[in-house]
Amino acid sequence: MMLIAAVMPGRAQPGHPAETMRDLQERFAACFQPPSDAEGTRITFYFSLDRNGDIVGEKPRTVAVGFRGSEDKRDRLTSRAEDALTKCWPLSLGAELARTIPGKVYFLQFQVDAQGRTQVLLRPFGSHVPADEEEVSHFRRR
């Protein structure tokens, strides 16, 4: 059974430090607005953050794209997703996240279902444990 959660007003708002990975996940979800023809898309990024909430390196590394459509449309979607994510940085991190997050690699995945809902998953790289109900959020985009 999977918990379906919406972004709660007042939590992880810009200007307020993110205290949990869930807060960060919600911020990434707010950055990504899939185009109307993105149903069935899955796009995965790897990245690291420094203690100030800035991305380490130039931009997130796109490591996987699942898309039903032309190569040109896939490339445009990937570029659009990368551009959207660059607007997320720097992230405002609470003291504990700022202490523990640097030096780790994370994967961030967006999945758009047939109804246009976007599922966002943020996990440490190499995590072999299936996502639990607290780590997966669905966001209605239509």
Domain residue spans of the chain: 21-127+134-139
Which tokens in the block code for residue 81? 């997703």
Please determine, for residue 35, whether its predicted confidence score (pLDDT) is greater than 90: no
Q: Any residues with CB less than 8 A from the CB of 76 and at least 6 apart, and which?
A: none
116 compared with 96, residue with greater pLDDT: 96
Please determine, for residue 6, whether its predicted confidence score (pLDDT) is greater than 60: no
The fraction of the chain above a pLDDT of 90, given in percent, is 17
Please determine, for residue 130, whether its predicted confidence score (pLDDT) is greater than 50: no
Quick one: 80 exposed, middle or buried, by C-beta within 10 A (0-12, 13-18, 19+)?
Answer: middle
Give start and end residues of each alpha helix (H) in 15-106.
Answer: 21-31, 71-86, 95-100
Please determine, for residue 3, whether its predicted confidence score (pLDDT) is greater than 60: no
